[in-house]
Amino acid sequence: MLRIRLRRVGARDQASFRIVVADSRAARDGRFVEQVGHYNPRTDPPTLVVDEDKTLKWIRQGAQPSDSVKRLLRGLGTLDRVKAE
């Protein structure tokens, strides 16, 4: 099963994250299918950039967002677009 989840990048104590589509069995920072955005919680306000077209395409194809990504997408209103269709 495919998951949309966070992939940690950055140095120790300076984490930022990429939002990727990956197989649920792959390691957290391992192999992934496609990068659909990035998230940096260390900026003020936190930076969140998501390619909504790619994200919606993967959700329509059955990819399940993780809890943390679901919270981020809900804040952007992307999940509302999926439910409206």
Q: Give the global pTM.
A: 0.88
pLDDT at 42: 95
Domains in the chain, number: 1
Instruction: Give the residue numbers spanning the domain of 69.
Output: 2-84
Stretch 15-23: mean pLDDT: 95
Predicted confidence band of residue 31 (pLDDT cuts 50, 70, 90):
confident
Residue 29: Cβ within 10 Å count: 13
In 3D space, the residue among 48, 28, 26 whose CA is nearest the CA of residue 38 turns out to be: 48
Stretch 35-58: mean pLDDT: 94
pLDDT at 9: 93
CA 29 to chain centroid: 13
Residues in the chain, how many? 85
Amino acid type, 14: Q
Mean pLDDT for the chain overall: 91
Q: What is the CATH number of the domain that holds 6?
A: 3.30.1320.10
